[in-house]
Amino acid sequence: MTHHEHPDAALVRRAYTAFTSGDMDTLGSLMTGDCTHHVPGETRFGGHFKGRDNVLGMYRDLDEYTGGTLRAELGSVLVDGRGHAVATHLLFAEHGDRGIEMPSALVFTIIDGKISDIDECVADIEELDSFYSLDG
């Protein structure tokens, strides 16, 4: 973190901290009510989750699916000063006897100091789908 961190970068860092610690109340307070998270892939975790409650519900489902092992190790946060931020991270999760580790990024749209849109990008959509489609 730099001395002159942009407020949008600070917001994204707070969101990552809340997500990583499972603090959905704080995370929800950083989003607009109509926030949408766009997730790549064809599984139940892929698609467009519209509305803060649906986004947070998807995060809770991911936490349950991964037995609490899902984490995003934040790399860098880049901002344009016009309401957009890009955060890179390394995604880790386990399900059953299988794990995944994948470079990923989130592209945020920020309006009036709150996250209004999240576009998720991953290194390998097919591998992510395979992981999210495991039984047992």
131 pLDDT more than 90: yes
**Taking the alpha carbons of 9, 94, 46, 21 in that order, is the dihedral positive or negative?**
negative
Residue 46 DSSP one-character state: -
pLDDT digits (tens, 9 = 90+) for 54-64: 999 999 999 99
pLDDT computed for residue 3 by the predictor: 67
Question: 7-132: what fold?
Answer: Nuclear Transport Factor 2; Chain: A, (3.10.450)
- Residue 84: what are its φ and ψ, rounded to 5°? -125, 140
At 11, the pLDDT band (50, 70, 90 cuts) reads very high
Separation between Cα atoms, residue 47 and residue 57, nearest integer Å: 13
Tell me the domain boundaries of the chain: 7-132
pLDDT computed for residue 2 by the predictor: 47
Longest CA–CA span in the chain (Å) reads 47
The per-residue pLDDT of the chain, averaged, comes to 95
Q: What is the DSSP string of 114-136?
A: EEEEEEEEES-HHHHHHHHT---
